[in-house]
Each structure stands twice: as C-alpha cells, then as structure tokens.
Amino acid sequence: MSVLRNQLLPWIKVLACQALVLVAVLFLSRWITPGTLPVLLGQGAAAAGLGFLLRMPRIWLVVQFLLPVAVVYGDAVPAWAYLVAFVLCALVYWNSASEQVPLYLTNRRTWQALADLVAASGAKSVVDLGSGMGGVVTFLARAQPGVEVSGLETAPLVVAASKLRIALSRLPNARIVYRSLWEAELGNYDVVYCFLSPVPMARLFEKARHEMRPGTLFVSNSFTVPGRAADRILDVDDGRRTQLHIYTL
C-alpha cells in the first residue's frame, strides 16, 4: 500500500493534471496550434500550477513543467545522453535502491542546531553516517575547530564531490571516507549523526547500542528508532520543522 502511495500516486496526479490541461489546449486549438514549443511550455506551466494547488512537492512541479516538451521533443535528444544521465543519477543516488536511503541534505539551521549540541556535549569527535555532499562535516569542522569531524559515504560521485569540498575548505579537522556506515566503528565517536530514512534505523541503532560508549550521543535527523523513545527531541526552527532525535547511550 505504501509503495502504491509513494511511487504511483504522484504519477497519477501528474497524468491527471496533464490530461486536464490537454483538454483545455484541444478546446483552444481553434486559436492555437497544439504541439508547438510555446504551447507545450504553457501546458507544462499550467499543469505545474495545478500540481502546486494539489500541494505536490517541488520536484513533481518540475516534472509537470517538462513532461509535455519531453514527450514531444524527446527524440531530438541523442540516445547516449539518456545513458549518460542514467549513469550520473546512479552515481549520485547509489544508495536509493540498495539501502533505501536517497540523497537529501540537512539544512543550514539544522547544521547550527547540531553544532550547538556538539559544543554543549563537549564532544571531541563526530561522525555523519552517510555524509552526502559534506555540508554537515564542513560546517561542524569550521564551527568547532577542536572537534574531529568525519563523514562516511558510498555514493561514488557524492564522495568525490564532498572530498573536493573538504579539500577546498582546507579544514584540518574534517575528512570524508569512502566507507559504508555498516562498516563504521561507532565506538570511536562521541556524537554519531545520521539523516537517512526509516528503513535502516532499527538495525543502525542496534549497532550503535553495541558499539558506542556510555554517555555518547546518537542523533537522528527526522527519523526515529522504532520501539525506543528518544531521550530528548530538539525542534529546529526551520521550514521543514526538523526534529533532532537524541539518544544517550
């Protein structure tokens, strides 16, 4: 049921909006020529507007906008370009299928809340499990020069980009390691931070419980550990209403 809701429902909404707008375009076809680029862009914009009214997430509004042009002019793009796009997406969203953890990023306000939490805890070492583009690692390392901050990541293009970011930032206390979070030795860290998905949380917390030292902190952005109440919840004052779930080992 949840697969149906998550995967199919947005597409059903997209097709419904496009169909509605297409009916309007056909009605107006006495005055306009359906299939021309301006009309296709107009159709996409109108469908995106309907999607907005249906409160669809932003990424789906982009799909709504581009779909008519993609359907009509898709042939104009050489076949290899689709292959290149697919490979690039695979290298970025490497863990979406296998781990069911896609790439989305912690925002700046949450970086700050986390930095304050790390400072208050007196931690000397922090790890971001699945460090994405390295934003958390860079911010924490800059905010807390006395703290060693590590990021573990396995999506190849994301690792390369975040390593470059760290190299350019010249922060001696920051590093990104190409390693699965399942192979991390969590006992090495005073604070373990993650922003993953509901799927790995139970197994990951079990790992943390076995490896982390007493008194150290396991902090999960948004996703709770099933069957275990957080010791503290930090509400971040951001648009997403982020909650940091803090578990003291």
Ligand X SMILES: C[S@@+](CC[C@H](N)C(=O)[O-])C[C@H]1O[C@@H](n2cnc3c(N)ncnc32)[C@H](O)[C@@H]1O
Q: Residue 181, interface with ligand X (CB under 6 A)?
A: yes
Smallest distance, Å, CB 197 to ligand X? 7
**Minimum gap (Å) between residue 144 Cβ and ligand X:** 17
Taking the C-alpha atoms of residue 37 and residue 184, their distance in angstroms, rounded to an integer, is 52
Tell me the residue number closest to ligand X, measured at CB: 130
* Shortest reach from residue 92's CB to ligand X, in Å: 8
Binding residues with ligand X: total (CB under 6 A): 24
The contacts found for 91-100 with CB under 8 angstroms, 24 or more apart, are 91/155, 91/156, 91/157, 91/158, 92/155, 92/157, 92/158, 93/155, 94/154, 94/155, 94/156, 94/157, 94/158, 95/130, 95/154, 95/155, 99/196, 99/197, 99/199, 99/200, 100/197, 100/199, 100/200
d(CA 98, CA 229): 27
* x/- map, 86-105, ligand X, by CB under 6 A: --------xx---x-x-xxx
Single residue of 186, 196, 219, 249 touching ligand X by CB under 6 A: 196
Contact positions with ligand X (CB under 6 A) in 125-154? 128, 130-132, 135-136, 152-154
243-248: strand order across its sheet: 174-178, 148-153, 125-129, 191-194, 217-221, 243-248, 232-235
- Considering beta carbons, is residue 10 or 135 the nearer one to ligand X? 135
Q: Does 10 bind ligand X (CB under 6 A)?
A: no
Q: Does 195 bind ligand X (CB under 6 A)?
A: yes
Residues within the interface to ligand X (CB under 6 A): 94-95, 99, 101, 103-106, 128, 130-132, 135-136, 152-155, 158, 180-182, 195-196
